[in-house]
């Protein structure tokens, strides 16, 4: 099954939202500063979104673990 690029964008945004909230929380616990935690989270948000998008698109080209469609598979 082939996925369109916009699906990867949506998955990227949802994953990074969760990941960034985690990073901000951990950063706040470590630094005790919300400003520092937000700064770390915002930098991490941008860099990891870009990395994840290209990682996801690369994996769409790799067939490891995929089962090829059979004659009886169909889409509605």
* Residue in 1, 7, 16 with CA at minimum distance from that of residue 57: 7
Every domain of the chain and the residues it spans: 5-60
Give 11-69 pLDDT, tens digit per residue: 878 888 899 999 999 999 999 999 999 999 999 988 988 898 898 889 888 888 877 77
pTM: 0.61
Q: Which helix (H) or strand (E) holds 40?
A: helix 34-60
> Above 80 in pLDDT, residue 7?
yes
**Does residue 14 contact residue 72 with C-beta atoms inside 8 Å?**
no
**Does residue 39 contact residue 23 with C-beta atoms inside 8 Å?**
no
């Amino acid at each position: 099954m082939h996925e369109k690029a916009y699906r990867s964008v949506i998955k990227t945004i949802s994953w990074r939202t969760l990941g960034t909230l985690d990073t901000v929380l951990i950063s706040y616990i470590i630094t005790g500063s919300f400003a520092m935690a937000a700064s770390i989270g915002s930098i991490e948000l941008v860099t990891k979104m870009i990395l994840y998008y290209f990682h996801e698109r690369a994996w769409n080209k790799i067939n490891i673990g995929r089962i090829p469609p059979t004659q009886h598979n169909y889409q509605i």
